[in-house]
Structure 1
Amino acid sequence: MRFSIAMPEDLLRAFDAQISRRSDTANRSEAIRDLIRSSLVRDELRTPEAQVIGSLTMIYDHHTGDLTRKLDEVQHDYTHEIVSTMHVHLDHSNCLEILALRGQGSRVYELADKLLGLRGVKHGELTCAATDTSLEL
């Protein structure tokens, strides 16, 4: 099935450069398929019942609407899961925020989904470990 997407030209150029560094046989379609597969596998590995530890990294433009208020509002609903936060001003518009997280997988993933889904969050990634001894580290 074919579909089209719109993106800024500089983002597409950077993506094409990444594709060309990875392989001389790779193409844009295969790279997008790989990204989609990776996202689906990562989502499938979620462990809703397990206790997890992890970190959520976000880069966002704090000038976007009332994003700062929304970020705070969501985080206040998950104070039990948020162990610590670090906030770094990258430049006049962009901020880096890192959250150390601990708790039931379903709550941690729910928090990450809510934050990363906010308009103005440019990039974000949740990295988790779920083991029987995760909370004993």
Structure 2
Amino acid sequence: MQRITITIDDDLAAELDAHMTASGASGRSEAIRDLVRRGLATVRTEPGDERCYGVVSCAVDQSVRQLAARIPQGRLDRHDQTIAALSVPLDHTTSIDVAVMRGRMSDVTAYAEALFLERGVMHGSLGLIPVAEGTTKHVHEHGHSHEHTHYKVQSSL
């Protein structure tokens, strides 16, 4: 780990301390690391082949023709990437939809951007969680072994 010294004015330090308290960070360094990670994630311009989990959320006007059928179909078309989906009714025509996806960052981002362009989809948001993919071999009681994939969350993209 590297030590970096920064100088900030009193007002910004007070805001940092308030963020630290609200977020539960144990100190200014932890709070600053968290803010830097988040900031760097937002400046990334081109999603690549890195693996990630993505949390896609949006408000959906269910009264828009066929939208209530197209959104689930879009997830079915990506059944190998879709981990979970939730739709919560807000009023008689609007719901909040949340989908947890996994795969290449470019694929997850493309899905989210296409969804957000649909007429009747509002307030779209995509949160990306970078992961490293690794294969592990497990041995069971009777000597049978098999490999499967594990994902380990990374601190930055």
User: Per the shorter chain, which TM-score range?
Assistant: 0.5 to 0.7
CA contact (8 A) 1:102 1:135 kept: no
Q: Secondary structure at the match of 2:132?
A: coil
CA contact (8 A) 2:52 2:130 kept: yes
Alpha-carbon distance change, 117 to 43 in structure 1, aligned in 2, over 3 angstroms:
farther
Partner Cα separation in structure 2 for residue 128 and residue 77 of structure 1: 20
Q: Secondary structure at the match of 1:48?
A: coil
**Aligned: 1:106 with 2:106:** yes
Partner Cα separation in structure 2 for residue 68 and residue 78 of structure 1: 17
CA contact (8 A) 2:131 2:152 kept: no
Superposition RMSD on alpha carbons, in Å? 2.2
Note the C-alpha offset of 1:126. 0.5
Unmatched segments (≥5 aa) in structure 2 = 1-41, 134-149
Alpha-carbon distance change, 118 to 42 in structure 1, aligned in 2, over 3 angstroms:
farther
> How do residues 50-61 of structure 1 correspond to structure 2 at under 5 angstroms?
50-61=50-61
CA contact (8 A) 1:53 1:103 kept: yes
Note the C-alpha offset of 1:70. 1.5
CA contact (8 A) 1:53 1:135 kept: no
Unmatched segments (≥5 aa) in structure 1 = 1-40
Q: Secondary structure at the match of 2:151?
A: helix
What letter matches 1:81 in structure 2? Q
Larger relative CO (CA 8 A, sep 6+): 1 or 2? Answer: 1
Partner Cα separation in structure 2 for residue 135 and residue 92 of structure 1: 39
Partner Cα separation in structure 2 for residue 118 and residue 96 of structure 1: 15
Partner Cα separation in structure 2 for residue 130 and residue 43 of structure 1: 12
Note the C-alpha offset of 1:43. 6.1
Note the C-alpha offset of 1:73. 2.2
**Which structure is larger by alpha-carbon Rg, 1 or 2?**
2
**Aligned: 1:73 with 2:89:** no
Note the C-alpha offset of 1:42. 4.7
What letter matches 1:123 in structure 2? H
More helix by share: 1
1:135 is matched with 151
What letter matches 1:110 in structure 2? A
Partner Cα separation in structure 1 for residue 44 and residue 69 of structure 2: 28
